[in-house]
Amino acid sequence: MFSVRLCFLSSVHTPENIFRKTFLIENKRNIKNRKYQIDPQRKDPLGLTSLSSVQSSEMASSALARISNLQRHFDPTESNNNKGGSDGFCGDLIKISPEVSEALLRGDAVVALESTIISHGMPYPLNLETAKEVEAIVRTNGAVPATIAILDGIPCVGLSMEELERLAILGKRVQKTARRDIALVVASRGNGATTVSASMFFASMVGIPVFVTGGIGGVHRHGEHTMDISSDLTELGRTPVAVVSAGVKSILDIPRTLEYLETQGVCVAAYKTNEFPAFFTETSGCKVPCRVDSPEDCARLIDANTRLKLNTGVLFAVPIPKEHSASGSIIESAIQRALKEARDKNITGNAETPFLLSKVNELTGGASLAANMALVKNNALVGTRIAVALAQLRKSCNKGNAESVS
């Protein structure tokens, strides 16, 4: 497995060298050599051609901005106090699988995947089978899957089959980990299944622009009284990662969730429809401000959001396929009964959503779980196509820029 280390340069400050040395991805987590050695046999190790002064300046600025951003994530005290000199670097805080690392270095499509659905969303061995099928869908359609989790206190981006199986077997014994829980799980060397917010955080940290999930969290029903609002929404408001989902889980308050996303400045786009989907069903009765009809449309939207430096996520809401859509009235009836039971048992916080989903599945005779599996796989297919289109768009732009310079 690869580890991310960050090196800050003091000797050669040309824009090209700053760009070359921004990230150091090493094979050994405990490597002692802290300097980044460029292969002397290659004149241009990263494939950079001669650059104009304007482009060089832009590249250097972008590289330094990314260094600053990651340094702030990894070690805010060093960022503030500037301790450690020119040879300062972050510790072994995150592990990236070789497959994911190589794809990112090549600029190929990578799709981030959460792990909470594995540990808390489905029973074993169905959760493991579904996770493998989702990763297979991503690979078959031209991208590299990067399932995210925290194992033994180490955030991992890209899991091996053994790690996936371990996570699936542990199930609910793994801590459900949102952004607020990351430091605790890492510090205690625990195991964490990342929610949407935590998965977005790590995806952004390593440079994965597209993340696929079943459905995002949102404003809970009666949230105007409880203030129970998922951190997924605030993460979308501050982390530039595109999220592909079947909308908001139908156990939540969809209209208020959309209002909250608007307040956060998040672009919400429905895929091939004008109405926001309701997770188990295709429609929710809520209109969306933006519609996209192809992976290319989505890629252009993500690219524009990135180039404008809006620093927010984009939410792509993909309706569940018609053949798998459950009856809206049956689902709604089950949700109301599940909500009442949750209130009676005083089940709140991050335990509420898994309980509600499990109860709804029980009340619908397994229909909601089957629908959940179907929508996750469909989201993986659509999300992969978006990631591939985005990678192609960026490679095309880079090629065009290189040709204009030459």
Active-site amino acid positions: 114, 249
Query: Are the C-beta atoms of 376 and 134 separated by less than 8 Å?
Result: yes
User: Tokens for 134?
Assistant: 């989702």
Q: Among candidates 260, 244, 261, which has minimal Cα distance to 302?
A: 244
Identify the three-state secondary structure at position 145: strand
Query: Are the C-beta atoms of 87 and 8 separated by less than 8 Å?
Result: yes
Query: Are the C-beta atoms of 104 and 207 separated by less than 8 Å?
Result: yes
Neighbours of 333 (CB within 10 A): 14
Under 8 Å CB-to-CB from 221, ≥6 apart: which residues?
251, 252, 253, 339
- In angstroms, rounded to a whole number, what is the distance separating the alpha carbons of residues 315 and 217? 12
Among left, alpha and beta (phi > 0; psi -120 to 50; other), residue 25 is beta
Identify the three-state secondary structure at position 14: coil
Under 8 Å CB-to-CB from 293, ≥6 apart: which residues?
271, 272
Q: Find where tokens 């955030």 sit.
A: 155
- In angstroms, rounded to a whole number, what is the distance separating the alpha carbons of residues 291 and 104? 29
User: Tokens for 195?
Assistant: 């929610």
DSSP H or E segment with residue 95: strand 95-96
- In angstroms, rounded to a whole number, what is the distance separating the alpha carbons of residues 236 and 48? 33
- DSSP class of residue 320 equals P
User: Tokens for 329?
Assistant: 């009235």
